[in-house]
Amino acid sequence: MSTASYDYGMWIVAGFNIGLFLFFVLSFLAPKGRAEWRSMGVVAAFLVALFSEMYGFPLTIYLLTAWLGDAYPALDPFSHKLGHLWVVVLGGSTLAWAFVMGLSLALMLAGYELLSKGWRQVHGVRGHLVTDGLYAYVRHPQYTGLFLLIAGFLVQWPTLITVLMAPVLTYAYVRLARREESAMYARFGETYTHYAQSRPSFFPPMREWVRFLFTPVPEYKQLGGEQWKDS
């Protein structure tokens, strides 16, 4: 009698997670124009593909077990623990599982922090140019947060579809950032040109990452339509 488990078919859980993470990303990125909604569509497709395999139907595992047969390095491939492919690659131990989950959680929490802080800064100045806080390190910290979130998902639960989609998603937001910068150059002129020349687009130098991730959100005051940072 087989004791192999099958920890999938949980479509309600899959749908809940798709809705939860999509709501979270929509709330912080707040797409407006057609280009932003098109890029958000790629994010939505990524989340659907990810959680459909994570909880619904493990297509990648079916394909890998069919291809590798007895050479597949897991005796119980359809248990949820061994659905984490990096856990399988690292030997399938509890220590490997803890490492994969810890790394993915760290990446996702860092992504959440950047998305949240970036949103608070952008909405704190209400249309004015932001150059402090997270924006003192990179020009598009919210997209940095999104990239870290996606990286966390790929560490936790890589699938054939999401691995193929990740570069497409990254390209979509790099292209969107360039479109946004064209508007910023037109609106703020030399001020933005000077700022852009002194800051990277998405990733600060390695020596600045700790300060970047833990930098506080500046507090802004408003008077007569002008915004400034509280000292």
Calpha distance 44→140 (Å, rounded): 20
Task: Say whether pLDDT at 99 is over 60.
Answer: yes
Task: Say whether pLDDT at 48 is over 60.
Answer: yes
SS3 120: helix
SS3 168: helix
Percent of the chain with pLDDT over 90: 73
Report the phi/psi class of residue 145: left, alpha or beta, with left for phi > 0 and alpha for psi in -120 to 50: alpha
Q: Which residues contact 88 (CB under 8 A, 6 or more apart)?
A: 73, 74, 77, 82
pTM: 0.89
Rounded average pLDDT over 112-136: 89
Task: Say whether pLDDT at 212 is over 90.
Answer: yes
Calpha distance 183→101 (Å, rounded): 40
SS3 221: strand
CB 173 within 8 A of CB 149: no
CATH code assigned to 11-220:
1.20.120
Q: Which H or E run includes 155?
A: helix 141-156
Task: Please list the residues that pair with 222 across neighbouring strands.
Answer: 227
Q: What is the pLDDT of residue 222?
A: 54
Q: Which residues contact 143 (CB under 8 A, 6 or more apart)?
A: 173, 174, 176, 177, 202
Rounded average pLDDT over 170-186: 94
Q: What is the pLDDT of residue 229?
A: 39
Task: Please list the residues that pair with 228 across neighbouring strands.
Answer: 221
